[in-house]
Amino acid sequence: MNKNIAIVGATGAVGTLVRELLVERNFPYGEIRFLASEKSAGKELEFDGRMVTVELLCPTAFDGIDIAIGSTPDDVAREFTPWAVQAGAVVVDESAAHRMLPEVPLVVPEVNPGAIAEHQGIIASPNCSTTQMVLAMKPIHDVSPIRRVVVTTYQATSGAGVQGSADLENGTRAALEEAEWEGGVFQHPIAFNVIPQIGSVQENGYTSEEMKMVLETRKIFADDAIEVCPTCVRVPVRNCHSESILLETDHPITPQQAREVFAAAPGIQVMDDPGDGIYPMPLNCDDLDDVFVGRIRRDLSCKNSLAFWCVSDNLRKGAATNAVQIAELLASSEFSKCRSSN
C-alpha cells in the first residue's frame, strides 16, 4: 500500500539524501510533500523526474500524511512532531529530541525492528556513531552476549553539518597558505588537528555525544547491564565516521568466528586483509549504505574480548538510510500503525 510521505527539513544535507533514497529504493509513496522553514518554502526540488515545491512547515502541513521523516534540529523536532502525530502521521525523527523518551522506540532495523510495534506516533533514529556501532555489535551479541564495549570514534566534519565541512576545507586551505581562518563550528581549528571533544562536557567527565552512545546502546539492546566506555573525537576527514571497537563477551569468540558472523549479517561488509592493506577507510566507504568492519583480532589483554575497526557513512546509514529503512518497515510490515486507506 502506497503511503503519503512528508520530508521535514527536505532542503538540508540529510533531507536531500532522504529524497534521493526514496527514489533509489523504490519506496511505495503516494503523495510526496517537502516541508521546510519560511526561508526555503517556495523553492522547487527535483524528485523522481519532476519538480516539487517546498511547502511551509506548519500544523496543517501534515493533513493526509501517513509517514513524516524529520531531519531537523532538536528544537524544530519538538515543535513539529505533535502537529504530525495529531494529524495521524507516524514521525521518524532523526534528531535527539525524542530518543530517550521511554514511550519512543529507538530503532536500527537490522538490530531491533520489533521495537517499531511499540510506537505511539514517534520512532527515533539513533545518533550516527551509535547506529554503526550497534549494527556491528548485533551479530556478535547474538553469538555471545556483550558485557562491555570500549569505543573510540573518529568522526568526520560532515557530522557537524555544512559549516563543519566548510571549516575543514577553508581551514585547510588557509593553513597551507599560512593565512588566517576563523571557523564557526568547532572550538579549535580542525585542519591538521584532532579535537577530543564532541558536545558539551557532563558532570561525569564524558561529553554529551559520548553519553548518547552509552544510553542509546543500552536502550536499543534493551539491556542496561551493557557497559560502554566511549571517547568521541573529531578528525579532519570530510565524510564517514570510523570507530575502534573492543567488545567483551560472555564467552570467547575467535577472529575467524567473528568474520563469519559479520559476513552473514545484513548491512555489514567485511574488509579484513591487513597484510595486503585491505581494511575499511573513509575514502572507500563514502556514499555507501553498509557498515564496514576490518582489523578483526583478539584482545591481547582479555581472552573474552574482540577488537575491530568499523567505518560507515554517517550521512547515509548514520542518518538518512536508517530513517528510510524505518519508513519502509512502517509501509510494508505488520508493525505499521500508519493511517491506511484500507
Q: Are residues 112 and 156 in the same domain?
A: no
pLDDT at 36 over 70: yes
Q: Is 302 considered catalytic here?
A: no
Averaged pLDDT score across all residues of the chain: 95
| Residues 233, 154 contacting (CB under 8 angstroms) | yes
Rounded to whole angstroms, the Cα distance separating 157 from 194 reads 11
Whether 134 is in a domain gets the answer yes
Residue 210 DSSP class: H
Q: Average pLDDT of 286-307?
A: 97
Whether 340 is in a domain gets the answer no
Q: Assign residue 75 the CATH number of its domain.
A: 3.40.50.720
Q: Are residues 302 and 328 in the same domain?
A: no
Whether 339 is in a domain gets the answer no
| Residues 99, 122 contacting (CB under 8 angstroms) | no
Q: Are residues 149 and 263 in the same domain?
A: yes
pLDDT at 183 over 80: no
One-letter amino acid of 72: T
Q: Find the DSSP H helices in 161-281.
A: 161-176, 208-221, 255-264
Q: Average pLDDT of 89-104?
A: 97
Domain span at residue 202? 130-314
Q: Average pLDDT of 39-61?
A: 95
Q: Average pLDDT of 209-229?
A: 98
| Residues 107, 85 contacting (CB under 8 angstroms) | no
Rounded to whole angstroms, the Cα distance separating 17 from 49 reads 16
Whether 88 is in a domain gets the answer yes
Rounded to whole angstroms, the Cα distance separating 221 from 191 reads 37
Q: Are residues 117 and 243 in the same domain?
A: no
Q: Assign residue 199 the CATH number of its domain.
A: 3.30.360.10
Nearest to 20 by CA among 312, 283, 287, 330: 287
Q: Are residues 78 and 227 in the same domain?
A: no
Q: Are residues 157 and 295 in the same domain?
A: yes
Whether 338 is in a domain gets the answer no
Query: Among residues 98, 119, 141, 241, which one is catalytic?
Result: 241
Rounded to whole angstroms, the Cα distance separating 340 from 66 reads 8
Q: Are residues 60 and 151 in the same domain?
A: no
Of residues 180 and 104, more confidently modeled: 104
Q: Are residues 40 and 73 in the same domain?
A: yes
The C-alpha angle 218, 12, 88, rounded to 5 degrees, equals: 65
Q: Are residues 156 and 93 in the same domain?
A: no
Q: Are residues 211 and 158 in the same domain?
A: yes
Whether 143 is in a domain gets the answer yes
Rounded to whole angstroms, the Cα distance separating 181 from 202 reads 29
Q: Average pLDDT of 171-193?
A: 91
- Cell match 534521493: residue? 20
Rounded to whole angstroms, the Cα distance separating 204 from 98 reads 23
Whether 342 is in a domain gets the answer no
Confidence of residue 333 (pLDDT cuts 50, 70, 90): low
Q: Average pLDDT of 133-151?
A: 98
pTM of the model: 0.94
Confidence of residue 342 (pLDDT cuts 50, 70, 90): very low
pLDDT at 336 over 70: no
Q: Is 119 considered catalytic here?
A: no
Domain count, the chain: 2
Query: Among residues 98, 119, 128, 310, which one is catalytic?
Result: 128
Q: Are residues 79 and 159 in the same domain?
A: no
Q: Average pLDDT of 124-145?
A: 98
Q: Are residues 51 and 69 in the same domain?
A: yes
pLDDT at 184 over 90: no
Confidence of residue 332 (pLDDT cuts 50, 70, 90): confident
Whether 203 is in a domain gets the answer yes
Torsion angles phi and psi, residue 109, rounded to 5:
-55, -30
